[in-house]
Structure 1
């Protein structure tokens, strides 16, 4: 969509925002100060003292902490709405919520109930609501496990109040009822979008991790920096065992379906398309579509189809008989794929859409344009997702035919993600592997046998052969020049059969041991190194040679946070005589390793104490593990690591 049509959609978006955010007063960003009046000076002073106590807690028992929180809630009763919408007090309320138990969270939630729309769309109140919803997951899980938990008595509450206090489940459902009529306006509102995302995750039974990899989905960068500056992140941190998805009642699933259905059916086509390219609303639509897998019945499929139709101009159920509709849909797709929010939404659609919709998007809107889109700064991510989600070998082959001549330009223009997606899909679908390796070699300019020896260095640096030929040995061993995408591509190549990964493996073995040793200490290169050792398609003789080149350096490797993982992998594939050599080398500097955090773990892995005291038993144990791994190889694959336990995944 270009020219006048883009202007038309831009003006539609402006009119929509003016209409929905102006007259009702709900979705318009409020002023920074509280919308419920000024805070009494005495209450403000008390609350500042509360913050000092929260920042420097001196509670000796859990009962003391609980009594303190109860006292604070009692003192500020009636001022909750003023506090949560005040810039200086809202962050203190969040800190207080993070040390509150389930009953106290319910008390607070009950006091601000009925004001969800105003608070969601308030600059400070939205953060408090978001924190309350995030913390409510554990309370809801307890209520599901023990339905009578909300009736248990509490010494700090009056008997009459206990019977009236709603459960956390009911508070959340009531909150949903509050926002349902204004959901379309709220998802496009700057401050309301984030708490709505948390609410949707809670309804779907998904744990919200505001500090993990998905923190950008639930907290803006500005919000994260503000919370960190005001010492809010450290309070109420959860242990690993609390990261399991929360249990939710059936009523939550029903409510989630109602919200999606209302949004899909009651929003106009123009509104939905404005949402699709909105930086604020598009992430909410992405989240809703990712929850599509929860709706595996016919009614749920109809809801999702209606949502996709509104976003993509009847792409799910519409027919291609009307030429004007086809032209409008094509123009709209062109707009979406070049838009930041729209392109991300298309990525999610390609991942979750049924095969019929996925194939239609490819055939009608992407086929024949992959080379062009792969060079676009935003559209190339859609191409990556399309290739990664190819539904058949035949479909992937068609995509490869379009992209084969693009490997060189993609490498030149740093669009490495498209290349990686092709390699990954080729390994996963077990097709086009010979051609993919050929296209890689051509992109790097590798022609002669001498150039072939440098293939692995070109790949890890994601650069052409002319930039590698004249490097000194010292420069070749510099892993700081290695590229993350190069490492990922090499890991994918190791999932191809021996006839295809041999080009990389032989190139690796052509390097001097001093050149490849630094790989063990690099975050990118170490993962590629591990992939060679772990691959079932790399022969045993090759692995022996790789391991032999590390002899004399095992202590250094064991003390490195990346190298220690490589040593674990070596231990999982090495034969008994090689293990003897490794342990003998480690034993010479046992005390040094025992005082090192990584070295200590390696000593435990190789069972150093058993080796020293009962050597014969150690030998029998390791031989038994080898037999066991061989016996269960077909079942456990290469995940069967030292000690008979699967290797834990680690992040780059």
Structure 2
């Protein structure tokens, strides 16, 4: 790779008058005071007209690049295509530029939706609009513009993936080619933007992208072919030693993870994924049991390096997530079985162990993992704060529908509880705070009453146990019911406690008698819960499982404070869900409606089994 490809692009300084103009543009974009969509479009058109010929200068200027990103987010598809066309031929220097790379990243994210629109409308290459000025030629479709960008990159892509700024943009480009929506707020955020960039965007670049929709986007076959071509260029045609060096490279490793994640289920996708895994793991797919002892030792040493390296461990997390069953099993048996405690206690490798357990494939594997970790290792995990490993075992048990007793018994023992029912009354208190029974008993009464030390992993563990059969979830249910109503009620107003309460009420493995008791315990509190951002979800869950008798009691409670609730943004949603207006005006019709809902649930239960959730008409979360 020639160094000139990585030289920072420089297209001259932005004139002072243009800088001043862009400051006024930013102020207008932040205010968002457009009277109509047409006004907004005209404003954006005027801005592009004013900056014509200076696009490259603006993209490479710190303050102007930020304004450009805001402008792009409210541009229509035609305006986006015009802007991308202006960048044609400068792909590599822009991708490798500190500021312009972020503009390109935003542009590509928005381009994905434009390509999706073109697919819906049946737009084909060579069907771009004629420009107003005949000398300007035909404006290419977004499909052609993106592919042109890829062609520019191809000769240099192998070196650019480890370039500090270009790597992030290439990751987004791969998402676009694969037809996956770029979600920079989700799980893939850390692989698409640096932490610093994400924080800045959240705090400053506050113009929202209104383009939302399905996670998967329609893309032409040419995109899929280009994705395979770039995959071969990056992963299959490269030297294995180079690929392994990229696995522990701080910038390049996330891109390798994206390549592994985005391969589809086609034969070409599986072949590419297998070839990449083989290169990364020193031939573990093609040469399962090498005769050469030296190769075995080298492979083992490499794995030990990978699992303890900050970048390499993230890559291994993706490997155990996407690896075929036979590769997963080989990795587990060869390198991880017998070492779960050692790696699970390590501050870096414990995340790999969590993913290994969460993505388990067979009940036998769960059985083996539980047998290895039960007893002293479980206690060590609890003592050393590696709660995620414990939560992963609970999730794995639920996933394969087995080993329930072994997992819960191991947790009970690690908490220092015996078969004594009195001790087990503190089960939920200990788990949600991730404390042993001795630690709980040594807390002052004020600390025991405090809900501030609730732990997220503890809440997730309790929710996981509630998906297990009654014999195991009885530890949670009995412990929760033994609490004083005033104490258990306080859980409903906390983010982690409320989720546990919801999981108990909604569990298919809790009998109706216990659920009815829980719902009755909340009578007198439904109005207050309806106005709370956590409690309102508990009201909805209660309503979904209540019989007509309890529903009527809840409705009578709500109707007394109908006006108060109707003035509250959450309360009015509860009034709508419970059809309180119908209850008040046409009681008999309300009764028949709710009985009909119950009959429908029973009917689906008979057809599909116990795990039936009726579809909600309202989908929202206020937090």
Q: CA deviation at 1:445?
A: 0.6
2:206 corresponds in structure 1 to 233
Which residue is equivalent to 1:25? 4
Aligned counterpart, 1:301 = 270
Q: Secondary structure in 2 aligned to 1:579?
A: helix
Instruction: Give the match for residue 306 of structure 2.
Output: 336
Structure 2 gaps, min length 5? none
> Aligned with 1:629: secondary structure?
helix
Q: Secondary structure at the match of 2:452?
A: helix
Cα deviation, residue 569, structure 1: 1.0
Correspondence for 1:181: 155
Shift of 1:537: 0.6
Q: Structure 1 152/60 Cα, relative in aligned 2: closer, same or farther at 3 Å?
A: farther
Would you say the 8 A contact 1:640–1:647 is kept in 2?
Answer: no
Moved more, 278-287 or 45-54: 45-54
2:129 is aligned with 1:157: no
Answer yes or no: is the 8 Å Cα contact 1:478–1:518 preserved in 2. Answer: no
Change (3 A) 1:457 1:52: closer
Task: Within 5 Å, give how 1:102-251 maps onto structure 2.
Answer: 102-148=77-123, 151=127, 157-161=132-136, 163-212=137-186, 214-227=188-201, 231-235=204-208, 237-238=209-210, 240=212, 242=213, 244-251=215-222
**Is 1:257–2:257 an aligned residue pair?**
no
CA-CA distance at 1:381 after TM superposition:
1.0
SS, match of residue 3 in structure 2: coil
> Retained in 2: the 8 A contact 1:26–1:118?
yes
Where does structure 1 lack aligned partners over 5 or more consecutive residues? 1-19
1:366 aligns with 2:340: no
What is aligned with 1:386?
356
Contact in 2 for aligned 1:350/1:358 (Cα 8 Å) = yes
Provide the aligned length of Structure 1 versus Structure 2. 618
The answer as to whether partners of 2:344 and 2:350 remain within 8 angstroms in 1 is yes
Matched, 1:70 2:40: no
The superposition leaves residues 406-439 of structure 1 with CA deviations (integer Å, 9 ceiling, x where unpaired) of 1111000000000011111112212221111111
Find the residue that maps to 2:53 and give its secondary structure.
Answer: coil
- Kindly indicate whether the alpha-carbon contact (under 8 Å) linking 1:473 and 1:515 is maintained by their aligned counterparts in 2: no
Tell me if the contact between 1:639 and 1:647 (Cα under 8 Å) persists in the aligned partners. Answer: no
RMSD between superposed Cα atoms in Å: 2.4
Provide the residue aligned with 2:613 in structure 1.
640
Q: Which residue of 1 is the match for residue 575 of structure 2? A: 603
2:565 equivalent among 593, 596, 606:
593
* Change in 2 beyond 3 A, CA 1:369/1:547: same
CA distance in structure 1 between the partners assigned to 2:177 and 2:386 by the alignment:
38
Find the aligned partners of 1:651 and 1:344 in 2 and give their Cα distance: 31
Q: Is the Cα contact below 8 Å between 1:534 and 1:638 reproduced in 2?
A: no
Q: CA deviation at 1:464?
A: 0.7
1:307–1:590 distance in 2 versus 1, CA, 3 Å: same
2:347 counterpart of 1:377: yes
Structure 1 CA distance for aligned equivalents of residues 114 and 168 of structure 2:
21
Distance, in Å, in 2 between the alignment partners of 1:68 and 1:95 is 13
Q: Cα 1:158–1:452, aligned 2, differ >3 Å: closer, same or farther?
A: same
Within 2, Cα distance between the matches of 1:420 and 1:58?
Answer: 48
Pair 283,549 (structure 1): closer, same or farther in 2 beyond 3 Å: same
Counterpart CA distance in 2 for 1:623 and 1:176 is 59
User: Are residues 27 and 533 of structure 1, via their aligned partners in 2, closer, same or farther at CA, if it must alter by over 3 Å?
Assistant: same
Secondary structure of 1:597's match? coil
Query: Is the aligned partner of 1:506 residue 2:478?
Result: yes
Q: Which residue of 2 aligns with 1:91?
A: 66
Whole-Å Cα distance in 2 between the matches of residues 422 and 227 of structure 1?
A: 36
Does residue 1:483 correspond to 2:462, yes or no? no
CA distance in 1, matches of 2:128, 2:244: 48
Whether the aligned pair in 1 keeps the contact of 2:29 and 2:70 (CA below 8 Å) is yes
Distance 1:81 1:505 in 2: 63
Separation in structure 2 between the aligned mates of residue 626 and residue 50 of structure 1, nearest angstrom: 56
Matching of residue 437 in structure 1 with residue 411 in structure 2: no
Deviation at 1:41, TM superposition (A): 4.4
Is 1:625 aligned to residue 597 of structure 2?
A: yes
Cα deviation, 1:60-83, whole Å, max 9, x if unaligned, reads 444444344334334433332222
- Partner-residue secondary structure (3-state), 1:329: helix
Secondary structure of residue in 1 paired with 2:75: coil
Distance change (3 Å), C-alpha of 1:173 and 1:583: same
What TM-score do the two structures reach when normalised by structure 1? 0.89
